[in-house]
């Protein structure tokens, strides 16, 4: 695409939003929380029923930003204490690709891929950033009995611009936790206005903090549903998404703007903030379908036919490759990229996804794999912290016939062991040729392929 025809890209990512929470995924009023703005958005383009992510916040965000499975990048659930978090500088982020292709890039929200100079968003391809470097539960620190700021640093909302040091702007406490998404949307809309005035294509990445625990709504939404904090927070999130949609319409850029909305992983399992994956079983931190499948939708007026719904397999890494093509950016050729180009599928030029399956790791352990309608588990942990049980023989489920993964397909499913073996062997061979980056690797670490 020529520079003048590059579409704007807006990616809104909810935090810990389960497949069964939104009205358009059979939640909404059932959960005490109507979501009319997001439900309408789901009818205006392509709604995914089989969009897959990683086990929790860090690995999904690393997969999105690099197009690579987290086992490759070392950006998994956690790193050893005292070692640097997130992505090493050698990784090439989606923001870097789009920036290099002429896009203005802004991020407003939760990063969770590096919390020191050299690894903040403003160092990784974003022209500007306002948000939190790590995660939302840090907002509970200062109100927790016994908290000692001389031992553990105070959590802050931060701001950063390319080429400048990041700075703390406001203490991230419980009250700021209630207000932060309102601030994120205000800054997102202001960023879009500036880029439209400058006539520059833009990439706005908006990783919201709702509905991550502590799931607390803005004071304007507290008590709005009568169904508690979680429902109030859902209604607030729906309103925030609507604010972005309204700004896009007001600016007259809807036809040239690709808008994504989705979630980074399956629902929270902790009480009292427990979420739901609807018809699927499980929560994040597991390899159940309720962890892998999340609500996801996209709109591109004039390019994507409204009302499309697909159960084809798509993985979060695919956004990296697809958006690079849309933006006219060059994919790195010196490393394995796991994302596949899905543009023709997204545009309806073909019925099927370009992906048939993927392998699924939690930290450095392969837990499961998906292929077509089938799922193979190597480690069984239907609820976090209930196992894990390492299976002597992998269990196979047909998730179309058995969405709760309750009955192993021992009689009619054995034939799929062959396709699964080829999928897994191919991925593991690529790990041998390109060994994974160790978690906590230093900034100067450069992988060596074999």
Dig out the tokens for 186 from the structure.
Answer: 């205000």
Q: Prior bond to 211 cis, omega within 30? A: yes
The torsion angles phi and psi of 169, rounded to 5 degrees, stand at -120, -25
Residues with Cβ < 8 Å from 145, sequence gap 6 or more? none
Residue count of the chain, please give it. Answer: 450
Give the pairing type, strands 314-315 and 128-132.
Answer: unpaired
The number of C-alpha atoms within 13 Å of 180 and in the hemisphere containing its C-beta is 33
d(CA 70, CA 370): 16
Select which of 24, 57, 218, 315 is catalytic. 57
Number of Cβ atoms within 10 Å of the Cβ of 364: 13
Dig out the tokens for 207 from the structure.
Answer: 């990783």
Number of Cβ atoms within 10 Å of the Cβ of 311: 11
112 assigned to active site: yes
| Cα–Cα nearest to 112, from 205, 178, 203 | 205
Residue 423's SS3 state is: helix
57 assigned to active site: yes
Residue 99's SS3 state is: helix
**392: phi > 0 → left, psi -120 to 50 → alpha, else beta; which?**
alpha
Tell me how far CA of residue 380 lies from CA of 25, 213, 362, 366, 387, in angstroms.
26, 25, 12, 11, 7
Select which of 112, 218, 285, 377 is catalytic. 112
Residues carrying an active site annotation: 57, 112
């Amino acid at each position: 695409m020529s520079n003048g025809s590059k579409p704007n890209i807006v990616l809104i990512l909810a935090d810990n939003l389960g497949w069964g929470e939104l009205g358009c995924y059979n939640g909404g009023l059932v959960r005490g929380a109507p979501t009319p703005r997001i439900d309408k958005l789901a009818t205006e383009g392509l709604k995914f029923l089989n969009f897959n992510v990683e086990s929790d916040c860090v690995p999904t965000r690393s997969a999105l930003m690099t197009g690579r499975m987290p086992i490759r990048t070392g950006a998994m659930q956690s790193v050893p204490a005292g070692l640097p978090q997130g992505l090493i500088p050698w990784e090439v982020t989606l923001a870097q690709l789009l920036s290099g292709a002429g896009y203005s890039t802004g991020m407003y929200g939760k990063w969770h891929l590096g919390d020191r100079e050299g690894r903040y968003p403003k160092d990784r391809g974003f022209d500007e950033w306002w948000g939190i470097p790590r995660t939302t539960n840090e907002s509970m620190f200062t109100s927790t009995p016994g908290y000692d700021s001389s031992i553990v640093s105070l959590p802050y909302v931060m701001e950063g611009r390319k080429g400048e040091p990041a700075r703390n702007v406001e203490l991230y406490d419980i009250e700021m936790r209630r207000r932060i998404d309102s601030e994120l949307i205000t800054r997102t809309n202001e960023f879009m206005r500036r880029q439209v005035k400058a006539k520059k294509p833009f990439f706005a990445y908006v990783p919201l903090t709702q509905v991550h625990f502590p799931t607390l709504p803005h004071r304007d939404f507290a008590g709005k549903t009568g169904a508690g904090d979680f429902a109030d927070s859902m209604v607030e999130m729906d309103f925030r998404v609507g604010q972005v949609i309204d700004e896009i319409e007001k600016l007259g850029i809807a036809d040239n703007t690709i808008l994504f909305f989705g979630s980074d992983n399956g629902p929270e399992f902790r009480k009292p903030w427990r979420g739901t994956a609807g018809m699927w079983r499980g929560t994040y931190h597991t390899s159940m379908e309720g962890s892998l499948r999340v609500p996801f939708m996209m709109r591109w007026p004039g390019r994507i036919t409204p009302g499309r719904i697909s159960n084809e397999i798509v993985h979060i890494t695919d956004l990296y490759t697809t958006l690079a093509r849309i933006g006219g950016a060059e994919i790195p050729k010196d490393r394995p990229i796991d994302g596949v180009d899905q543009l023709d599928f997204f545009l309806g030029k073909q019925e099927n996804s370009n992906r048939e399956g993927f392998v699924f790791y939690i930290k450095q352990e392969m837990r499961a794999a998906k292929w077509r309608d089938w799922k193979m588990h190597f480690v069984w942990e239907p609820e976090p912290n209930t196992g894990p049980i390492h299976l002597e023989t992998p269990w196979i489920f047909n998730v179309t016939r058995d969405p709760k993964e309750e009955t192993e397909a021992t009689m009619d499913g054995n034939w799929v062991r062959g396709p699964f073996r080829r999928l897994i062997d191919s991925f593991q061979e690529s790990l041998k040729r390109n060994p994974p980056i160790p978690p906590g690797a230093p900034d100067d670490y450069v992988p060596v392929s074999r």
